[in-house]
């Protein structure tokens, strides 16, 4: 009789600090595995605590509480399949990122992470200690299993050492957050591990939003030669059973379901939806509001919010001034109507007049300038925050990455709020995403199908409407030029000379560079938003607020 081993892959959504809730998810997955006759159920890296914990994991009481929950899981799941779960543990006074194999009421094996990532959004060298490479373990007289923990599988060393020590299958628990086009990078890297070691590999990733990061799932199983045997869904909690059989050539996975992998624009949009939905759920908010201006940024944020939370939980507010055009009033109303969300109007003319009058003795005959424009934005921020406080709705901000990068936003004005779904999306990408959403609808969207962002909003020139006939291009380069320069300076850390060599005007590049640097203090105080690129503002890109260096290359 052919020897078989059934593995249950639990691609689930944990919450940082919700130890009992995360443990309950693990129990649910274990019961599902038991009912399916599985030999083992595997959960992702650091699942018991949620990920990333940042400095919370340095609190001894937190780590002790996490271990108490792990031991309670071991006791509760003693009679049935083995349970593999990630969590922190202190050993000889050192803190480790571990992967525990629970069976028969106790920890029967423990992996310790060897390679600690210390780049992009990761600070694990600061938090954990590296340990020697762990050996393989066996469950229910099945195959010998090696479990490189996330980063351990991105280098040949750990997988090779485990296989040389007898591992016949590699099960890799991950807490790997999304950035655009990361999935093929993961796949190619894991294929390399399979080819190098000639054993099947299980890549198990967590799913769900945590602050600015979204874990996109997409777990998979590879057979020898890099053959894809199982593909789990992207950005969706799921449990999948995988059967391995022992053959003359060794263990191999019996092919199963291959979920589709969407293109990058759909994944970006889904990440923004999941990021907002989980941020709301995990912080305890149920409803949002936002200022709907009749412009494209607030329109796409309204669509994201509706798809994440449902139209009944989204309220849009138009706050017109004397500079607000009738077209913007009409477009905002049309966008709210298309989404089916509540729509209110709060006119700021009286408040603006009162503020102008209050400041008149101080401002005297000084000419009106950016100060007066910013007053309008700050009045809107004040009135929106008042509504947020009164009605218990989280205020969403609506600045895209282009604006966030160059400071084309008013601090304590349109930057006021608790979360920004489009913080890491350049303006040109916003236009593309609006067109995509109008043409596409998915079952994970709670908003309606069809044209939810009026074409008039997409087609008109962007404007803050803080003075007569104002256009964004009065203050900024055209967005296709601006975004090209920003992509190089921010995402690629290119030099001014690199930008000039790429065909951009040096004076324009220098102006954009200057705006990036002097706006750092605004970003330091800005709301979080989902990471879409590999170089998002905050953990990916950490620059000093006070910085007098400028790049003089490219002259």
Q: Strand, coil or helix: what is 251?
A: strand
Both tokens of 252, joined, read: 């191999």
Tell me if 372 is assigned to a ligand binding site.
no
- Nearest Cα residue to 111 out of 128, 96, 99: 99
Tell me if 182 is assigned to a ligand binding site.
yes
Q: What is the CATH number of domain 4-246?
A: 3.60.110.10
- pLDDT at site 555: 76
Distance from C-alpha of 296 to C-alpha of 434, rounded to nearest angstrom: 8
Tell me if 282 is assigned to a ligand binding site.
no
Sheet holding 4-11, edge to edge: 106-112, 94-103, 82-91, 40-42, 4-11, 238-247, 250-253
Distance from C-alpha of 297 to C-alpha of 427, rounded to nearest angstrom: 8
- Nearest Cα residue to 210 out of 173, 176, 261: 176
Q: At what angle do helices 479-486 and 427-439 cross, to 10 degrees?
A: 110
Both tokens of 345, joined, read: 């109007």
DSSP 449-511: SS--S-HHHHHSPP---SSTT--GGGTS--HHHHHHHHIIIIIS---HHHHHHTT--HHHHHH
Q: Is 404 left (phi over 0), alpha (psi -120 to 50) or beta?
A: alpha
Q: Are strands 394-395 and 288-291 parallel, antiparallel or unpaired?
A: parallel
- pLDDT at site 225: 95
- Classify domain 265-472 by CATH architecture: 3-Layer(aba) Sandwich (3.40)
Q: Rounded to the nearest 5°, which phi and psi values hold at 197?
A: -110, -10
Q: Give me the helices (H) in 295-426, please.
A: 296-309, 326-339, 349-363, 370-391, 401-406
Q: At what angle do helices 296-309 and 326-339 cross, to 10 degrees?
A: 20
Q: Strand, coil or helix: what is 300?
A: helix
- Nearest Cα residue to 320 out of 289, 344, 301, 341: 344
Distance from C-alpha of 158 to C-alpha of 100, rounded to nearest angstrom: 17
Residue of 77, 98, 150, 316 with catalytic role: 150
Tell me if 171 is assigned to a ligand binding site.
no
Tell me if 293 is assigned to a ligand binding site.
yes
Tell me if 522 is assigned to a ligand binding site.
yes
Which class for 33: exposed (0-12), middle (13-18), buried (19 or more C-beta within 10 A)?
A: buried
Residue of 45, 151, 373, 465 with catalytic role: 45
Distance from C-alpha of 467 to C-alpha of 324, rounded to nearest angstrom: 9
- For the chain, the farthest-separated pair of C-alpha atoms sits apart, in whole angstroms, at 95
Residue of 112, 113, 287, 423 with catalytic role: 113
Tell me if 400 is assigned to a ligand binding site.
no
Tell me if 438 is assigned to a ligand binding site.
no
Both tokens of 325, joined, read: 């055009």
Tell me if 322 is assigned to a ligand binding site.
no
pLDDT values of the chain reduced to their tens digit, one per residue, 555 residues:
789 999 999 999 999 999 999 999 999 999 999 999 999 999 999 999 999 999 999 999 999 999 999 999 999 999 999 999 999 999 999 999 999 999 999 999 999 999 999 988 999 999 999 999 999 999 988 999 999 999 999 999 999 999 999 999 999 999 999 999 999 999 999 999 999 999 999 999 999 999 999 999 999 999 999 999 999 999 999 999 999 999 999 999 999 999 999 999 999 999 999 999 999 999 999 999 999 999 999 999 999 999 999 999 999 999 998 888 899 999 999 999 999 999 999 999 999 999 999 999 999 999 988 898 899 999 999 999 999 999 999 999 999 999 999 999 899 999 999 999 999 999 999 999 999 999 999 999 999 999 999 999 999 887 666 667 667 677 789 999 999 999 999 999 999 999 999 999 999 999 999 999 999 999 999 999 999 999 999 888 999 999 999 999 877
pTM: 0.95
Which class for 75: exposed (0-12), middle (13-18), buried (19 or more C-beta within 10 A)?
A: exposed
Residue extents of the structural domains in the chain = 4-246, 265-472
Whether cis (ω within 30° of 0) applies to the bond prior to 52 is: yes
Both tokens of 200, joined, read: 């099947």
Distance from C-alpha of 51 to C-alpha of 213, rounded to nearest angstrom: 10
Distance from C-alpha of 343 to C-alpha of 520, rounded to nearest angstrom: 34
Q: Are strands 342-345 and 82-91 parallel, antiparallel or unpaired?
A: unpaired
Tell me if 294 is assigned to a ligand binding site.
yes
Q: Strand, coil or helix: what is 221?
A: strand
113 given a catalytic annotation: yes
Tell me if 97 is assigned to a ligand binding site.
no
């Amino acid at each position: 009789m052919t020897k078989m081993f059934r593995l249950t892959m639990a691609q689930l959504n944990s919450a940082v600090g919700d130890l009992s809730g995360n443990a309950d998810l693990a129990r649910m997955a274990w019961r599902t595995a038991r009912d399916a006759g599985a030999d083992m159920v595997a959960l992702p890296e650091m699942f018991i605590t949620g990920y990333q914990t940042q400095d919370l994991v340095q609190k001894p009481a937190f780590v002790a509480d996490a271990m108490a929950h792990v031991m309670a899981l071991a006791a509760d799941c003693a009679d049935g399949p083995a349970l593999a779960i990630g969590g922190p543990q202190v050993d000889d006074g050192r803190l480790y990122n571990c992967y525990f194999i629970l069976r028969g009421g106790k920890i029967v094996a423990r992996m310790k992470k060897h390679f600690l990532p210390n780049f992009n959004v990761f600070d694990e060298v600061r938090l954990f200690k590296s340990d020697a490479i762990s050996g393989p373990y066996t469950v229910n007289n099945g195959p010998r299993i090696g479990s490189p923990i996330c980063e351990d599988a991105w280098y040949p060393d750990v997988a090779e050492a485990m296989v040389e020590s007898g591992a016949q299958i590699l099960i890799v628990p991950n807490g790997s957050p999304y950035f655009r086009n990361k999935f093929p990078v993961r796949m190619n890297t894991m294929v390399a591990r399979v080819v190098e070691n000639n054993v099947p590999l299980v890549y198990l990733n967590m799913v769900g939003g945590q602050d600015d990061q979204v874990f996109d799932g997409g777990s998979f199983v590879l057979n020898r030669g890099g053959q894809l045997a199982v593909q789990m869904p992207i950005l969706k909690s799921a449990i999948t059973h995988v059967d391995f059989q022992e053959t003359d050539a060794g263990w191999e996975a019996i092919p199963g379901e291959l979920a589709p992998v969407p293109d990058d624009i759909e994944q970006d949009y889904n990440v923004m939806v999941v990021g907002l939905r989980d941020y709301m759920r995990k912080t305890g908010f149920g409803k949002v509001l936002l200022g709907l201006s009749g412009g494209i940024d607030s329109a796409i944020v309204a669509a994201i919010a509706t798809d994440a939370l449902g139209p009944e939980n989204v309220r849009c507010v138009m706050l017109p001034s004397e500079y607000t055009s009738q077209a913007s009033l009409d477009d905002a109303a049309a966008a709210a109507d298309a989404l089916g969300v509540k729509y209110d109007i709060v006119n700021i003319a009286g408040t603006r007049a009162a503020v102008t009058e209050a400041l008149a003795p101080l401002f005297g005959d000084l000419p009106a300038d950016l100060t007066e424009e910013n007053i309008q934005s700050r009045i809107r921020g004040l009135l929106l925050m008042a509504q947020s406080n009164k009605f218990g709705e989280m205020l969403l901000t609506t600045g895209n990455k282009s604006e966030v990068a160059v400071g084309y936003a008013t601090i304590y004005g349109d930057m006021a709020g608790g979360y920004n779904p489009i913080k890491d999306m350049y303006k040109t990408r916003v236009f593309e995403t609006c067109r995509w959403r109008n043409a596409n609808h998915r079952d994970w969207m709670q908003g309606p199908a069809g044209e939810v962002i009026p074409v008039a909003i997409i087609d008109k020139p962007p404007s803050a409407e803080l003075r007569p006939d104002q256009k964004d291009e009065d203050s900024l380069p055209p967005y296709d030029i601006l975004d090209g320069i920003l992509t190089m300076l921010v995402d690629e850390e290119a030099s001014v000379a690199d930008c000039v060599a790429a065909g951009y005007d040096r004076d324009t590049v220098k102006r954009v560079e200057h705006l990036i640097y002097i706006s750092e203090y605004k970003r330091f105080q800005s709301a979080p938003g989902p990471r879409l690129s590999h170089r998002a503002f905050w953990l990916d890109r950490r620059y000093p607020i006070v910085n007098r260096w400028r790049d003089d290359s490219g002259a």
